[in-house]
Amino acid sequence: MARFWRPGSEKPDSSSSYPSAARDDDYSEGVPFAMPSSYQSGYMSIEKQRQSLPIYKQQNSLLYLVENTSTTIVIGETGSGKTTQIPQAGWADGNQLIACTQPRRIAVQTVAARVAEEMHVNLGLEVGYSIRFEEISTPGVTKIKYLTDGVLIREMMEDPLLTKYSVIMVDEAHERSVSTDMLLGLLKKIQRRRPELRLIIASATIQATSIAAFFDNSKQRQLVDKDKSLPSRKPAILSVEGRSHTVLIHYVEEPVDDYLRAAVSTTLLIHKMEPSGDILVFLTGQDDVDAALQLISDEAENGSEGIFVLPLYAGLPRSDQELVFSPAPRGKRKIIVSTNIAETSVTLEGIVYVVDTGFSKQRFYNPIADVEALVVAPISRASAQQRAGRAGRVRPGKCFRLYTEDFFMHEMQAEAVPEVRRSSLVSTILQLKALGIDNIMRFDWLASPPAETMVRALELLYAIGVLDSDAKLTSPLGLQIAELPLEPMVAKMLLASAALGCSNEVLTISASLSVQSIWVSGKGRLKEFDEARERFAAAEGDLITYLNVYEAFLASKKSAQWCHQNCINFQAMKQVLDIRAQLSRLLQRLGIPLKSSGKEIQAIQKAVASGFFVNASQLEVSAEGDLYKTVRGGLKISIHPSSVLFRATPKWVVFKSVMLTDRHYMREVTAIDPAWLTEIAPHFFQCRK
Ligand code: CDP
Ligand code: MG
């Protein structure tokens, strides 16, 4: 439980890294705010809202800059209208489109829906979107396309110069995700071949100078410079004036033990003590969000009335997404419990209070043990400032930080390390190779990844047979793996299943691995959830369990009610069906036959081992309990309690992913026979003996 609050500084958040037009005088604590009536609820008509956006006033400058320069960098804080307005600015140019990329799928979907609404068109016509396994657009009609940066990179495999697009906007560049950084490097290359292409790079923070320097081609003398019709190759920077209000920051006096419970009690206290205004709570992942939701709802039944609680996370079904963006029922206070998504990716109206736990789920790569793990870790000061900023959108707000001021000042990093410096680069390097970039060590990165990580990725791609000893893509395996929109090891498993006569089953497993989670998160319904999972649990592990769930789902005639009774996510299962069908067509195109192994589970386990053998681990019984040791890297690791093998502890296993909390945990675990390993990958295991 959080011990309570001492206001941090009465001043506006002066350390804020975004341009702020904070007005001190419109802050008045505890007194109802005098606001124009259209403002009172925090929601306005869609037209009024558009015209009031800071970017609206700068349309002309923006059009001018983009017309006259190759690369325009737009800086403006979250909510200034970058994502929804810039693509609408009237770029239509013959048959070409404007692309706008986002690091997150959910941002792509919600923003495309919003822009279609603003333009009074049906989604999928003039405004479309594309995320992995879901393309909602109409060739010849769609003019504005929102897509993830990963999907745009994939489009380059068919159209290397992205000739479909006259303008490409890379949004959320400040997030520095691996695919955003990779895309920026690729676009810089494309610009050399297509000097008429216009890039817009949008960021919520002002660290734009490094991006500007990266895209500065003005010193390269080329003949094309003589062509006066071409744009300037020196990037331009446009700062959109902010309009946020003062946000009063509160810190806890003592560190909290349990950030989740502290977040819940703080939220309820805000509801009790503070005047109206919606609350946004930042947690780390879907599990946390669901757990907090449950706790808040339990409390609400015990008397906290007048609240309307909603979750926001990456795997949220479309129908629930809409609720998050619409006003709460009359007289109720909306509470949105979110992952990092609400930090800058999506704009929420009406938020006046922010509860910041100070944590997010982050990727960390350890090149020595060669594992990439998801870790719940402290955010950066820049992130904390962004989170606080979300409270000042409609009127002065408050941010309750569940960490001490001392922690903020001295423990948090100023800025997050770009993801390329803390991720495994296996998929990235495979994609670069597939795009014909042979010398990946010379690829032009905005921030170069550690050479060691690249070497590790090359080694792994060689081990799974994607690259040959000259580091060229192998044929057909490497080319086929690059073609499939799956992680390389999942693709390898799927391709190996054909020869083992179980592609039909492994197709289902691959599709199940491509959705967020097929389970409805168990917190709050723990016992029920455990029982449900027991019903499907396979002694061979989690991946075979997915197969059981899928078959039972089909047997139920794809019933939503059946899913509910079994703690299975109906939306996710529908996605599995759809992805499975798409993958099946891709396999057909690659000439890979669909074969069923029937009850022969061993063939399926072997296929799993063929994909994930680099993650083979052996049980070591020790005083500390049942621990596994990875063959590659010798890391000590346990089976995660969410795995069906948690209690079974087979001698040898392979896993798909790693989570790091108090120790390393493997997730999505499959039991294997070690004799298969030398059979599947003799080169890899012999040299390790
Ligand atoms: O990209 P940026 O953060 O600069 O702003 P934006 O996402 O374009 O948001 C501009 C405006 O559109 C805000 O007032 C949002 O509240 C609104 N919006 C919305 O109502 N629903 C969405 N799904 C997205 C944006
Ligand atoms: Mg945006």
Closest ligand (CA of 114): 1
Q: What is 9-28 written as a DSSP string?
A: -SS--TT-SS-----GGG--
What is the sign of the dihedral through the CA atoms of 107, 111, 112 and 114? Answer: positive
Over the stretch 622-642, which tens digit does the pLDDT of each residue have?
777 789 999 988 999 999 988
For residue 393, the ligand 1 atom closest to its alpha carbon is 14
| Protein residue with least CA distance to atom 17, ligand 1 | 347
Mean pLDDT computed over 643-667: 92
| Protein residue with least CA distance to atom 21, ligand 1 | 114
Check: CB of residue 446 under 8 Å from CB of residue 204. Answer: no
| Protein residue with least CA distance to atom 20, ligand 1 | 325
Q: What is the pLDDT of residue 632?
A: 87
Q: What is the pLDDT of residue 16?
A: 33
Q: What is the pLDDT of residue 3?
A: 41
Q: How far is the CA of 177 from the centre of ligand 1 (A)?
A: 21
Q: Is residue 577 part of a domain?
A: yes
How much of the chain exceeds pLDDT 90, in percent?
Answer: 69
Give dist(CA 20, CA 11) in Å, integer. Answer: 13
Over the stretch 426-463, which tens digit does the pLDDT of each residue have?
999 999 999 999 898 899 999 999 999 999 999 999 99
Ion ligand 2 neighbours, Cβ < 5 Å:
83
* Residue 105 predicted with pLDDT over 80: yes
Q: How many helices (H) and strands (E) does the chain have?
A: 26, 22
Same domain, 278 and 410: yes
| Protein residue with least CA distance to atom 24, ligand 1 | 111
Q: How far is the CA of 565 from the centre of ligand 2 (A)?
A: 38
Q: What is the pLDDT of residue 117?
A: 94
| Protein residue with least CA distance to atom 14, ligand 1 | 79
Q: Is residue 163 part of a domain?
A: yes
For residue 110, the ligand 1 atom closest to its alpha carbon is 23
Q: Is residue 479 part of a domain?
A: no
Same domain, 293 and 405: yes
pTM for this structure? 0.89
| Protein residue with least CA distance to atom 18, ligand 1 | 347
Where are any strands of DSSP class E within 379-504? Answer: 397-401
Q: Return the DSSP state at 466.
A: S
For residue 77, the ligand 1 atom closest to its alpha carbon is 4
**Helices 601-612 + 503-513 axis angle, to 10:** 50
For residue 46, the ligand 1 atom closest to its alpha carbon is 20
Averaging pLDDT over each range in 2-16, 77-91, 291-305, which range is the top one?
77-91
For residue 86, the ligand 1 atom closest to its alpha carbon is 8
Give dist(CA 176, CA 184) in Å, integer. Answer: 10
Q: What is the pLDDT of residue 222?
A: 56
For residue 171, the ligand 1 atom closest to its alpha carbon is 1
Q: Is residue 72 part of a domain?
A: yes
Same domain, 185 and 49: yes
Q: Please name the residue ranges forming H helices in 11-85.
A: 37-40, 46-51, 59-68, 82-85
Check: CB of residue 184 under 8 Å from CB of residue 448. Answer: no
* Residue 44 predicted with pLDDT over 90: no
Q: How far is the CA of 55 from the centre of ligand 2 (A)?
A: 12
Over the stretch 670-689, which tens digit does the pLDDT of each residue have?
999 999 999 998 878 765 54
Q: What is the pLDDT of residue 242?
A: 74
Task: Say if residue 476 is preceded by a cis peptide, omega within 30 of 0.
Answer: yes
- How would residue 375 be classed by pLDDT, with cut points 50, 70 and 90? very high
- How would residue 228 be classed by pLDDT, with cut points 50, 70 and 90? low
List Cα–Cα distances, 456 to 270, 366, 459, 463, in angstroms: 49, 10, 5, 10
Same domain, 369 and 390: yes
Same domain, 213 and 356: no
Q: What is the pLDDT of residue 304?
A: 65
Mean pLDDT computed over 197-223: 82
Check: CB of residue 371 under 8 Å from CB of residue 658. Answer: yes
* Residue 240 predicted with pLDDT over 50: yes
Q: φ and ψ at 652, to 5 degrees?
A: -125, 140
Q: What is the pLDDT of residue 598?
A: 82
Q: How far is the CA of 49 from the centre of ligand 1 (A)?
A: 9
Q: How far is the CA of 82 from the centre of ligand 1 (A)?
A: 8
Same domain, 298 and 164: no
Give dist(CA 546, CA 542) in Å, integer. Answer: 6
Q: How many domains does the chain have?
A: 3
Q: φ and ψ at 474, to 5 degrees?
A: -80, 160
Averaging pLDDT over each range in 119-128, 339-348, 656-665, which range is the top one?
119-128
ipTM score for this prediction:
0.98
Single out the residue in 239, 260, 288 at which a domain terminates.
239
Q: What is the pLDDT of residue 550?
A: 97
Q: Give, for ligand 1, the residue of 48, 55, 84 to mutate: max count of ligand atoms closer than 8 Å to Cβ.
A: 84
* Average confidence score pLDDT of the chain: 88
The residue segments making up the domain with residue 494 are 484-671
Mean pLDDT computed over 344-349: 86
Over the stretch 265-291, which tens digit does the pLDDT of each residue have?
999 999 999 999 999 999 998 888 988
Residue 660: beta bridge partners? 375, 664
For residue 49, the ligand 1 atom closest to its alpha carbon is 14
Give dist(CA 385, CA 102) in Å, integer. Answer: 21
| Protein residue with least CA distance to atom 10, ligand 1 | 81
Q: How far is the CA of 109 from the centre of ligand 1 (A)?
A: 13
Q: Is residue 469 part of a domain?
A: no
- The enclosing domain of 132 has a CATH number of 3.40.50.300
Single out the residue in 221, 239, 257 at which a domain terminates.
239
- How would residue 92 be classed by pLDDT, with cut points 50, 70 and 90? low
Give dist(CA 527, CA 517) in Å, integer. Answer: 18
Please calculate the CA angle 227-71-243 and round it to the nearest 5 degrees: 140
Mean pLDDT computed over 394-412: 96
The lowest-confidence range among 375-389, 516-530, 571-585, 661-675 is 516-530
Single out the residue in 388, 419, 450 at which a domain terminates.
419
Higher pLDDT, 326 or 99: 99
Same domain, 191 and 223: yes
Q: What is the pLDDT of residue 290?
A: 87
Q: How far is the CA of 346 from the centre of ligand 1 (A)?
A: 7
Closest ligand (CA of 111): 1
| Paired sense of beta strands 625-630 and 617-622, if any | antiparallel
Amino acid at 253: E
Q: Is residue 7 part of a domain?
A: no
Mean pLDDT computed over 643-663: 92
* Residue 42 predicted with pLDDT over 60: no
Closest ligand (CA of 394): 1
| Protein residue with least CA distance to atom 13, ligand 1 | 79
Higher pLDDT, 521 or 596: 596
- How would residue 300 be classed by pLDDT, with cut points 50, 70 and 90? confident
For residue 348, the ligand 1 atom closest to its alpha carbon is 16
* Residue 393 predicted with pLDDT over 90: no
Q: How far is the CA of 105 from the centre of ligand 1 (A)?
A: 16
* Residue 65 predicted with pLDDT over 80: yes
Q: What is the pLDDT of residue 12?
A: 32
Same domain, 219 and 316: no
Q: What is the pLDDT of residue 482?
A: 96
| Paired sense of beta strands 617-622 and 652-660, if any | antiparallel
Q: How far is the CA of 114 from the centre of ligand 1 (A)?
A: 8
Same domain, 221 and 257: no
Q: Give, for ligand 1, the residue of 73, 118, 347 to mutate: max count of ligand atoms closer than 8 Å to Cβ.
A: 347
Same domain, 168 and 264: no
For residue 240, the ligand 1 atom closest to its alpha carbon is 4
Q: Say whether 77 sits in a helix, a strand or coil.
A: coil
Close Cβ partners of 155 (under 8 Å, ≥ 6 residues apart):
147, 162, 164
Q: How far is the CA of 207 from the centre of ligand 1 (A)?
A: 22
Q: How far is the CA of 442 from the centre of ligand 1 (A)?
A: 38
Give dist(CA 558, CA 570) in Å, integer. Answer: 8
Q: How far is the CA of 172 from the centre of ligand 2 (A)?
A: 6
Closest ligand (CA of 88): 1
Q: What is the pLDDT of residue 383?
A: 95
Looking up tokens 């405004």 gives 127
Mean pLDDT computed over 598-617: 94
> Nearest Cα to 336, choosing from 313, 318, 357?
313
For residue 84, the ligand 1 atom closest to its alpha carbon is 8
Averaging pLDDT over each range in 226-240, 401-415, 623-637, which range is the top one?
401-415
For residue 349, the ligand 1 atom closest to its alpha carbon is 16
Q: How far is the CA of 353 from the centre of ligand 2 (A)?
A: 20
* Residue 502 predicted with pLDDT over 60: yes
Same domain, 222 and 288: no
Mean pLDDT computed over 651-659: 95
Check: CB of residue 274 under 8 Å from CB of residue 65. Answer: no
Q: How far is the CA of 156 from the centre of ligand 1 (A)?
A: 29
* Residue 668 predicted with pLDDT over 90: yes
Q: Is residue 113 part of a domain?
A: yes
Check: CB of residue 53 under 8 Å from CB of residue 81. Answer: yes
Q: What is the pLDDT of residue 308?
A: 92
Same domain, 505 and 531: yes
Residues with CB under 6 A from ligand 1: 49, 53, 76, 78-85, 110-111, 114, 325, 347, 349
Q: Is residue 450 part of a domain?
A: no
